[in-house]
Amino acid sequence: MLVEFCAGFVFTADSEHGLRCWRASDQISCSAGLPLVESESETSALPTALAVSRCLLQNLIKVTVGFADGRFGVYDMDTQSLCLRLRSFHPASADGAITAMATSDSYLLMVSEHKVLSLYEMFLAEPEHTTRSNAANTSNQSSGEGVKLLASLKAGSILSPMSLSVRFAHSEIIASIVYSFFHIGCGWSLGIQELRFGKDGEQIGSRLATTVNAQYGAMPLHPLTLSRRGYSSSFESGPSSGESLVELTDPSILHQEPPTSISYSHPYLLTSHADNTLTVYLVVSTGVKLFVKGGQRLWGHTSSVSAVQVSDRGKAISVSSRGDEIRVWELENLIPALGSSKAVREENSIQINPENKSCKRHEGGTLLTGFLACQLCGPHLASGQVSREYTRMGGCVGFDDERLLLSSRKETGTHLIELYDFT
């Protein structure tokens, strides 16, 4: 089951129940739902990626669902009428299953199973179906008429985890992918590639930066320059030849294992690690250069950290692998310390502890005072029997100033959603 959180709404997608939406303030009743596709086969209807974003000029949340056969559907959720509508449906692709997606307003960035990075523009068109809690017939879905492919790049080798983002800067659209790679000098490092387009969809260029210099505590001697014509047909997994490395004896930040998760929301880049730490970087992106500034280890967790998520305002959430330790960070205050030798420890974060774990049972989930452990599939939990023993922590689904949504899976295979309310 895939889960996302946006503007006070929780979205879930699975092959059995389709696409569903709940208000965070009312987890008992489903606000809206739609079947994902026609019942062709179980595999073709299997959702593999889910992305949501809020349209600033309308009372809409754009929902995009990617599937195992490369198809993807674009839906609109009206936050006032609570109507969920199909916008367009893109046919299957030879690039394989869609593994990750990011959306922003009218743009969609995705990565496929065969390591193809694609950027689409989504056009507003009249929806063909509208529904509330009951699903409507989707036999007359549009076939990708509302999307346009702007760019497609092929990676020779890229490893999970990764982070995708789409943002606007001045008159440009910037699509970014952050990924990990092994560097012989400083261990596991991060690469970030930007694709830049004009508002008319015309390609401006592509550029690459890495965290290697930041891990050595040095700035690039020659920042990467912007390519004015064309971008590479593949995105790289190591330092660019245009980036001069400062040769130092030992790096100040050395990771012997790959990161457990990556989150990038410009300008903050945050990773989590199995050694109980986080690492934060600051990405500098201007009209002429792209580089990573500083690099700081964050301490405070007492066990392996499995998931992180950061906002563009510097607020971050980190979750331990067992889900029993959650911390809130304010990274904006750490900017002056980036790149310094000063350790940043737990006093710079707040650990979340539910005040009341009493619960009551309802259909489709278990509502707890202080947070929600929502059992959206599988047998019901008995009242008061919400176990903290998880075999896998799915991570931070999303957060805002008042709420935090987490996803996890119990030993029995039950998928749980926890909603922390800070009000």
pLDDT in tens, 279-319: 999 999 988 889 998 888 888 888 888 889 999 888 998 98
The contacts of residue 262 (CB under 8 Å, 6+ apart) are 161, 162, 163, 178, 179, 180, 190, 269, 270, 271, 308
Report the pLDDT value the prediction gives residue 205, as an integer from 0 to 100: 87
396, 309 Cβ separation under 8 angstroms:
yes
The contacts of residue 105 (CB under 8 Å, 6+ apart) are 53, 55, 56, 62, 168
How many helices (H) and strands (E) the chain has is answered by: 1, 31
* pLDDT tens digits, 113-147: 998 999 998 876 554 444 444 433 333 444 455 78
Report the pLDDT value the prediction gives residue 100, as an integer from 0 to 100: 93
Q: CA 178, 183, 189: angle at the middle one, nearest 5?
A: 30
At which residue do the structure tokens 């489709």 appear? 364
Report the pLDDT value the prediction gives residue 57, as an integer from 0 to 100: 67
Report the pLDDT value the prediction gives residue 354, as an integer from 0 to 100: 58
Report the pLDDT value the prediction gives residue 269, as an integer from 0 to 100: 95
Report the pLDDT value the prediction gives residue 134, as an integer from 0 to 100: 41
Query: Going residue by residue through the chain (423 aa), what tens digit of pLDDT does each one get?
Result: 888 988 888 999 988 888 999 888 776 778 888 888 654 554 456 899 999 998 876 788 999 999 998 999 999 999 888 889 888 888 888 889 999 999 987 899 999 999 899 999 887 655 444 444 443 333 344 445 578 898 888 877 777 889 999 998 888 899 999 999 999 888 999 999 999 988 777 888 889 999 998 888 765 444 443 333 333 444 444 444 445 444 456 788 888 999 999 999 999 999 999 998 999 999 999 888 899 988 888 888 888 888 899 998 889 989 888 777 888 888 888 777 665 555 555 457 788 765 544 333 333 333 333 333 433 333 222 223 334 443 444 566 688 877 888 877 766 667 778 787 777
Model's pTM, two decimal places?
Answer: 0.79
Delimit the CATH 2.130.10.10 region(s) of the chain. 1-154
Across all residues in the chain, what is the average pLDDT? Answer: 75
The phi, psi pair for 325, rounded to 5°, reads -140, 115
Report the pLDDT value the prediction gives residue 37, as an integer from 0 to 100: 64
Report the pLDDT value the prediction gives residue 333, as an integer from 0 to 100: 80
At which residue do the structure tokens 């990556």 appear? 262
Given the DSSP bridges, would you call strands 315-320 and 268-272 parallel, antiparallel or unpaired? Answer: unpaired
Report the pLDDT value the prediction gives residue 94, as an integer from 0 to 100: 83
At which residue do the structure tokens 């974060």 appear? 349
294, 281 Cβ separation under 8 angstroms:
yes
Report the pLDDT value the prediction gives residue 174, as an integer from 0 to 100: 93
By CB atoms closer than 10 A (0-12, 13-18, 19+), residue 6 is buried
- CATH code at 1-154: 2.130.10.10
* pLDDT tens digits, 246-272: 445 678 888 899 999 999 999 999 999
Q: How many CB atoms lie within 10 A of CB 342?
A: 10
